[in-house]
Chains A and B, each alone.
Chain A
Amino acid sequence: MSTTTSTESSGLLAALLPPFERANGCTVNVIAVGTGKALKLGEAGDVDVVFVHARELEDRFVAQGHGIDRKDVMYNDFVLLGPRADPAKVSGAVGPADALRRIAASKALFISRGDESGTHRKEQELWRAAGIVPKGSWYREAGQGMGEVLEMAFQKRGYTLSDRGTYVAFRTRIDLAILFQGDAQLRNPYGVIAVSPARHPHVRYGLARKFTDFLTGPEGQRIIAEYRIAGEPLFFPAMGAER
């Protein structure tokens, strides 16, 4: 299986795979790479199943006949963070667009990743949806990783957009509060796709199918829902309970 680094580094796969391996008497070999690379491995038939988060790319992957049985597995989400005093009154916002408009209107400091990462792209998408071109001395593009940007937002008492996992990992060291969360626009969905046996006859489609069924079935969904780091859920199952 090829997958993105987040499923592996978060420790989720270590909780998810052993029950499946025991039930089916197999070993899942995990290749954790970026989403683009993970799909390329599927395209080449080097893996039996891919588990990634990039909805558009996944749909193209299926449309081009490289994979079948795409299923939503889970999502993690982005959270809007800021100083507890919340000078821009973001916590009262009705949606992500409203939250960003409040920040822009009060010219409160906002720290952007500015590094063309997935989180940065998400942030740009949200500004576009809010109809704002963020510009000015209140909008700082750090050009660094999530951890550095969280530290900078804390030091400068600014706002920022973060994935929940990194925020949870940093929460004890930095005093930033989640001021807005839970909107559908802030979701980052993960999907699983079996590599097409028609295109690549050598792939183990039977097992791949069992795996996609396992991930989206009651046991897989329960493991995802119950997976916690420091008492916080990182991923939310796609089936059932909506937050």
Chain B
Amino acid sequence: MEFFADSMNAALSLLLSADPDILHAVLTSLLVSGGSILLASLMGIPLGLAVGLSEFPLKRPAVTLLNSLVALPTVLVGLVVYGFLSRRGPLGSLGLLFTPAAIVIGGTILCTPIVAHYAMVAAKGADARILPTAMTLGAGPVRAWLKFVSEIRFGILAAVVAGFGRVVSEVGIAMMLGGNIRGYTRTMTTAIALETSKGKFAEGMALGVVLMAVALIVNVFLSLLQQRRP
């Protein structure tokens, strides 16, 4: 029990001291996770809605593939993107490896299938008559779609929350593509991995507590957003 008591003490003093390294890691985590979820939403939500609402040949295998991609391992994403961004790889000349941008690329690939999957489920569960009804009432296709999305906004928000939760908590991509560089690409999860490798378990736990607190704040914010009527 001493371990957990020490950890809580360390977590509190870390938070109160506003250690610049920790603040930077928190900020980096939020920035790369935010960037990833934004890009993933822009691609994943339309994709999920399209798959959920339309009929096309090979739809079943496409849905199965999408569902399996939800379980994409982070180290695999890291490895594949590494292969592209490495100096030996096709995009090596961009110099993106070991930068926050590299983490965003990996994070986007990781959570696009998750967002798409949740969006698809939301679209399937919605009343399919919304679109034609809106159109007969004189709405253009764009307004009809916006109406549809607003009807299933709870499902869409769940998609964003799930994707964010996945990307903010992962360590494989951030470590491989970011490189855990202090004050630059160190995120909260890679910082926890580092403290653990140094044998500083209490400090690692403390960072874990901070990570959970950040996740809580983000989710409270998102659910407040959800409760607001459009």
Q: Name A's B-contacting residues (CB within 8 A).
A: 114-116, 137, 140-144, 148, 152, 154-156
Given contacts A141-B181, A141-B182, 5 further A-B contacts (CB under 8 A): A143-B190, A148-B179, A152-B179, A155-B86, A156-B97
Closest 9 CB pairs of A and B: A141-B182, A143-B194, A143-B180, A140-B181, A116-B198, A155-B97, A152-B179, A155-B87, A144-B180
Q: Which of A115, A142, A156 contacts B198 (CB 8 A)?
A: A115
Bound-complex Cα distance A148 to B197 (A): 14
Q: Which of A116, A140, A142, A154 contacts B87 (CB 8 A)?
A: A154
Interchain pairs with CB closer than 8 A, number = 37
Smallest CB separation, A176 vs chain B (Å): 12
List 18 A-B pairs, Cβ < 8 Å: A115-B194, A115-B197, A115-B198, A141-B181, A141-B182, A141-B183, A142-B181, A143-B180, A143-B182, A143-B186, A143-B194, A144-B175, A144-B179, A152-B98, A152-B179, A154-B87, A155-B98, A156-B98
- B interface majority secondary structure: loop
The answer to whether B86 and A142 have CB atoms under 8 Å apart is no
Smallest CB separation, A111 vs chain B (Å): 8
Q: How large is the interface on B (under 10, 10 to 19, 20 to 34, 35 or more residues)?
A: 10 to 19
In the complex, chain B residues whose CB is within 8 Å of the CB of A143 = 180-182, 186, 190-191, 194
Bound-complex Cα distance A143 to B98 (A): 13
B176-188 vs A, CB cutoff 8 Å, 1 = contact: the mask equals 0001111110100
The answer to whether B179 and A114 have CB atoms under 8 Å apart is no
The answer to whether A140 and B190 have CB atoms under 8 Å apart is no
Smallest CB gap from A140: residue in B: B181
Bound-complex Cα distance A175 to B19 (A): 37
**Contact residues of B between 82 and 116, Cβ < 8 Å to A:** 86-87, 97-98
Smallest CB gap from B183: residue in A: A141
Bound-complex Cα distance A148 to B178 (A): 12
Smallest CB separation, B202 vs chain A (Å): 15
Bound-complex Cα distance A37 to B75 (A): 33
In the complex, chain B residues whose CB is within 8 Å of the CB of A114 = 182
In the complex, chain A residues whose CB is within 8 Å of the CB of B182 = 114, 140-143
Smallest CB separation, B134 vs chain A (Å): 52
Bound-complex Cα distance A34 to B183 (A): 30
Smallest CB separation, A83 vs chain B (Å): 11
Smallest CB gap from A116: residue in B: B198
Name, among A142, A154, A156, the residue most crowded by chain B CB atoms within 10 Å (CB to CB).
Answer: A142
